[in-house]
Amino acid sequence: MTFARKIWNLLVGVKDALALIFLLLFFALLYAALSSRPAPGKIVDGALLLDLDGSIVEEKSKVDPLKLLMSTESPASEYQARDIERALRLAATDARIKVVVLDMSRFLGGGMVHIEEIGKALDAVRKAGKPVLTFANAYADDGVQLASHASEVWVDPMGGAFVAGPGGNQVYFKGLLDRFKVNAHVYRAGTYKSFVEPYLRNDMSPAAREAYEDIYGALWSGYKADIARARPKAGLDRMTGDPVAWSQAADGDFAEGAKAAGLVDRIGDRTEFQNRIAAIAGKNEAAKGTSDLPYKANRLAAWLAANPEKAEGAKIGVVTVAGEIVDGDAGPGKAGGDRIAELLDENIDQGFKALVVRVDSPGGSAMAAERIRRAIVRYKDRKIPIVVSMGNVAASGGYWVSTPGQQVFAQPETITGSIGVFAVIPSFEKTLGDYGVTSDGVKTTALSGQPDILGGFTPEVEGMLQASIENTYRKFVGLSAAARKMTPEKLDSIAQGRVWPGQEAQRIGLVDKIGDLEAALAEAARLGGVGNGKWQAVYLKEEEDSFSKFLGGLTSDSASESARKSASAFDFSSFVAVRRQQQFARLAEQAGAMFTTRGAQAYCLECPVVPGRANAVNARELSMLESLARFFGRD
């Protein structure tokens, strides 16, 4: 009895300790959220500070409370591109803002379309006679492009600027699959549908290489052109043409090398940078310690809260399809087909004069894409004009949901097309055979027990799966052809899973006009008969519950500042580590697709990964990789 009592007391003690830990966590989170809420109206004459501690996205991801509670560090922040653009354009005309400051010490990047649009907003601030200053320990590709629009670019003496350019190697799994006799059953329609090539080949096919060269060449040309417009004297070619010679010329001092190339203006640490800002914006006399900024500043959340958007005029609905298109209610951050379709249906009676479909997605589930498309068509059936605005990516399933558009807008660096379909299913009959595992049974038809990933597929099920994929492809081509007023044969000749840059997509008829979201909204207002009257963009979104708002506060400006102070700075080695994380995440994504993909997929492999969201490996994929490693580890 004494032993049992001791065990019971131990269990009670563990229970009480866990309860105390969770209570402490709860109150810590509550304090962080309450202390980080923006205070509308408390705007000071000084700087607008954009502390970009994370990535720029089309639509912010929903905070996962369980992951947040279990995480050992603050999650990387996400900033909606349109919020940053609006904040900058307000700052350009507001006399209270003396200077715009971008702290990019832990900037994770953004799509080229977003970077260019924010760059234009920074240009507007400078045109209004206000300086724009940036600081980072080190700048990478997206950071270099964004900072090029600043009037003063500062870098830490131990840092620098590094431009790698788009592109890189893909990982191919065929040799691994062959070694362990895994049978990858691949079904596809589209010559250029290269998503499945890593399971079929040891290298890139000529067709895929052609598509990659076209896309990455267009992105690289656009990147260099944007920097040349912002900084005509910048010597980007010095850095990228012969990086070894460039680094040797700077004696390995990347900060001096970046300055010599005209990509950086001033070399100094954070204290020197902040003193420079204080000289323009004014000193913060209320600063009491290192946690307070030494200059007068307004943070992004508070600035936006103090300048709410005016809700007046005719309503133009805007639905956002951002991230991978998946079945179910996923998102925001992923485009859950059910969630977006229900969002559209719930708002169909809101009196919208027109609907703008904002797409920033590489595609995904064909079933989910069709679910979203049908919901958009229901607006069209009510004679509500539909305009599509493509962001960084509107490919595969992203193009599928764009087909109802009466007018389709893209930007020169938009990646679109990829009209093709695939499915991939592994089976392990040969692998198991090597371990003496066989299968046998009684079948009433050729399809009994099929598809059988342990015993193998019958020819009948192989044929049916390929026929299903081809049928889905024909539907995709048919929808696209009808939308673009082409014959299916003509559309098929430019489809085949190939991706196109926006300018080229307009030339071949996949999009109508080159223009940004504002141009698409203006066209929607025109088609909706607004004329010269006022109109407002109404973004369709679910109402946040109080708990979600509470969690959202944890990634606000104050939380980001706290995370920045406790995190290590980004230098060249840090960028190498981040690139390693991204590569591993991409590897996990590709390997995981073979085991976790469900149904026909309209997904674009060539499309760049959405920044930030691929920096952390998905837990399910990591677990899957670990399981594979343990299995394949047996010789």
Give tens-digit pLDDT for 209-240: 888 899 999 999 999 999 999 999 999 998 89
Note the pLDDT of residue 506: 96
Q: What is the mean pLDDT of the chain?
A: 84
What digits encode the pLDDT tens for the residues 74-126? 567 899 999 999 999 999 999 999 999 999 998 989 999 999 999 999 999 99
What digits encode the pLDDT tens for the residues 325-361? 999 998 798 999 999 999 999 999 999 999 999 999 9
Q: Is the pLDDT of residue 571 over 80?
A: no
Least confident of 197-206, 425-434, 471-480, 587-596: 587-596
2-36 and 557-566 helices cross at what angle (nearest 10)?
A: 120
Q: Is the pLDDT of residue 528 over 90?
A: yes
pLDDT-based confidence at residue 188 (cuts at 50, 70, 90): confident
**Amino acid letter at 372?**
I
- Nearest CA to 624 among 598, 599, 590, 601? 590
What digits encode the pLDDT tens for the residues 370-408? 999 999 999 999 999 999 999 999 999 999 999 999 999
Q: Is the pLDDT of residue 615 over 80?
A: no
Active-site pick, 61, 74, 98, 193? 193
Note the pLDDT of residue 153: 97
Q: Is 334 a catalytic residue?
A: no
Note the pLDDT of residue 347: 97
pTM: 0.84
Q: Is 396 a catalytic residue?
A: yes
Question: To the nearest whole percent, how much of the chain has pLDDT over 70?
Answer: 78
Determine how many CB atoms are found less than 10 A away from the CB of residue 274: 20
Q: How far is Cα 400 from Cα 381, in angstroms, rounded to an integer? A: 18
Q: Is the pLDDT of residue 624 over 50?
A: no
Q: Is the pLDDT of residue 30 over 80?
A: no
Hey, what domains does the chain have and what are their CATH numbers?
10-167+235-306 (3.90.226.10)
Note the pLDDT of residue 378: 97
Active-site pick, 365, 396, 402, 558? 396
| 571 Ramachandran zone, left/alpha/beta (phi>0; psi -120 to 50) | beta
How does 229-248 read in b/e, with b if 16+ C-beta sit within 10 Å?
ebbeebebebbbeeeeebbe
Q: What is the widest separation between alpha-carbon atoms in the chain?
A: 87
Note the pLDDT of residue 632: 36
Q: Is the pLDDT of residue 27 over 90?
A: no
Do residues 419 and 497 make contact, with C-beta atoms less than 8 angstroms apart? yes
Note the pLDDT of residue 628: 36
Strand 415-417 to strand 499-501: parallel, antiparallel, or no bridges (unpaired)? Answer: antiparallel
Do residues 180 and 463 make contact, with C-beta atoms less than 8 angstroms apart? no
Side-chain-side CA neighbours of residue 207 (13 Å): 14
Question: To the nearest whole percent, how much of the chain has pLDDT over 90?
Answer: 55
What digits encode the pLDDT tens for the residues 37-67? 444 558 999 999 999 999 999 999 887 665 5
Q: Is the pLDDT of residue 561 over 60?
A: no
